[in-house]
Chains A and B, each alone.
Chain A
Amino acid sequence: MEKSTQNFLSVIENHKGIIYKVAGLYTKDSEDRKDLAQEIIFQLWRSFEQYDEQYKRSTWIYRIALNVSISFYRKKKRRETISHPLSGEVFSVHEEESSQHEDVKLLQQFIKELKELDRAIIILTLDGNSQKETAEILGLTETNVSTRVGRIKTILKKKFETVKNQ
Chain B
Amino acid sequence: MNTIDLNQIWQNQEEELNQSISVNREQILEITRMKVSSALAKAKPIKWFAIGFGILWVLFIYSLIIHFLSMEYIFFIISAGIHSVLTNIAIGIYIYHLVMINKIDNSRSVAEVQERLASLQSTTLMVNRLMFVQLPVFATFYLTPAWLQQMSNGRLLFVFGNIAIFAAAGLWFFFNIKKENMHKRWFRFLFNSQEWTSIEKANDIVDQLGEKNV
Contacts and interface: CB of A to CB of B under 8 A. Distances in A.
B37 A13 contact: no
A51 B151 CA distance: 71
A74 interface: yes
Interface string B91-113: 00000000000000111111111
A103 B10 CA distance: 9
Interface string A90-131: 111111000011011001100000011110100000110000
A108 B12 CA distance: 12
B24 A92 contact: yes
Contact of B22 (A9, A21, A63, A94): A94
Q: Main SS of the interface on chain B? A: helix
Q: Main SS of the interface on chain A? A: helix
A101 B12 CA distance: 8
A63 B109 contact: yes
B198 A116 contact: no
A16 B21 contact: yes
Interface string B26-61: 111111101011000010100000000000000000
Given A45-B32, A67-B106, A86-B31, 14 more contacts: A16-B21, A45-B34, A50-B107, A52-B107, A63-B109, A67-B110, A90-B24, A101-B12, A101-B13, A103-B12, A104-B13, A107-B9, A137-B109, A140-B209
9 closest A-B pairs by beta carbon, nearest first, are A139-B109, A139-B111, A74-B201, A126-B10, A95-B20, A117-B208, A67-B106, A104-B13, A67-B113
12 contacts: A5-B29, A9-B23, A17-B17, A42-B34, A67-B114, A68-B106, A70-B110, A92-B23, A94-B20, A107-B10, A126-B6, A140-B209
Interface of A: 1, 5, 8-9, 12-13, 16-17, 20-21, 38, 41-43, 45-47, 50-52, 60, 63-64, 66-68, 70-71, 74-77, 80, 83-84, 86, 88-95, 100-101, 103-104, 107-108, 115-118, 120, 126-127, 136-141, 143-144, 147, 153, 156-157, 160-161, 164
